[in-house]
Amino acid sequence: MHNRDQNHPPIIELDKDHPGFHDKEYRKRRNLIAEKAYRFNIGDRIPRVEYTEEEHKTWSEVLAKLSSLHKTHACKYFLDSLSLIELNNKKVPQLCDINILLKDLSGFQMVPVAGLISPEHFLSRLGDKIFSATQYIRHHSSPFYTPEPDIIHELVGHAITLAHPFFSELNFRFGLAAKKAKPESFERLIQAYWYTLEFGLIQENGEIKAYGAGLLSSIGEMPSYESEAKLYPFDLEKISNTQFDPTDYQPGLFVAPSIESLQTTLIDWLDNFQ
């Protein structure tokens, strides 16, 4: 990640089909928040973002919908974590406040980034218990959809899971594996993370539940994975060799037989990854 000179503020590029592409005020807002992230260095105080009333409204609206879906679709460990990180349902929480809780619970800290960073950078930081998180929020015209990770995804999907020892340990193990991975093997590691901690499913009491942060923060994809996606048995060899498209719903997902099996199998695979 690179700092930018204050006389040359970052320009956030949005695709033409992005909900906020034609909204000059939204783009200006994104640049303002990105500027804070570009100025940040590890060890600095986490910058606060003064969210607008419209942004708070979007947060509240999406959180209410997700909370309802979690009751039906989220795995038990995620539901257990909800009491560890109680998110304000009216105001967008600040990363610096969430970090106070995470530090005591798992040792992880969330640090701001302006947008997507390289998978190598993202995964390697996990080995230092640093999670790279965006601070902007999706466009108000499309509260139930975002083509990129935003603060809702980061907090609902990742902050809550990082509070739980099961998820925080797996994130940490991915980071350790990333630090020693050979360049030619890195794509397999990225794909394993994607189909587990981002879009993983698990068998729980005879039902298929979500444990991946991408699913747990998606209003559209969380309730539709059983009807819309092909579900495959958990196989890390196949998982790590399956490419993905981050801009669309996942056509295929992998279901682990149990939390215990997932933990044992994945940690063993990561410990021996080269």
Tokens, residue 256: 């682990």
φ and ψ at residue 92, rounded to 5 degrees: -65, 120
Residue 67 CB neighbours (<10 A): 14
DSSP letter assigned to residue 238: H
Q: Which of 18, 73, 139, 158 is catalytic?
A: 158
Q: Are 201 and 255 in contact (CB under 8 A)?
A: yes
Q: Which of 106, 124, 217, 218 is catalytic?
A: 217
H/E stretch holding 121: helix 119-126
Residue 147's identity, in one-letter code, is: P
Give yes or no: 217 in active site. Answer: yes
Q: Which of 70, 139, 153, 164 is catalytic?
A: 153
Taking Cα atoms as reference points, which of 246, 28, 33 lies closest to residue 148? Answer: 246
Q: Which of 81, 154, 164, 198 is catalytic?
A: 198
The b/e string for 90-117 (b: 16+ C-beta within 10 A; e otherwise) is eebbbbeebbebbeebbebbbbbbbbee
Give yes or no: 13 in active site. Answer: no
Q: Are 148 and 133 in contact (CB under 8 A)?
A: no
Pairing of strands 130-133, 109-112: parallel
Residue 69's identity, in one-letter code, is: L
Active site residues: 153, 158, 198, 217
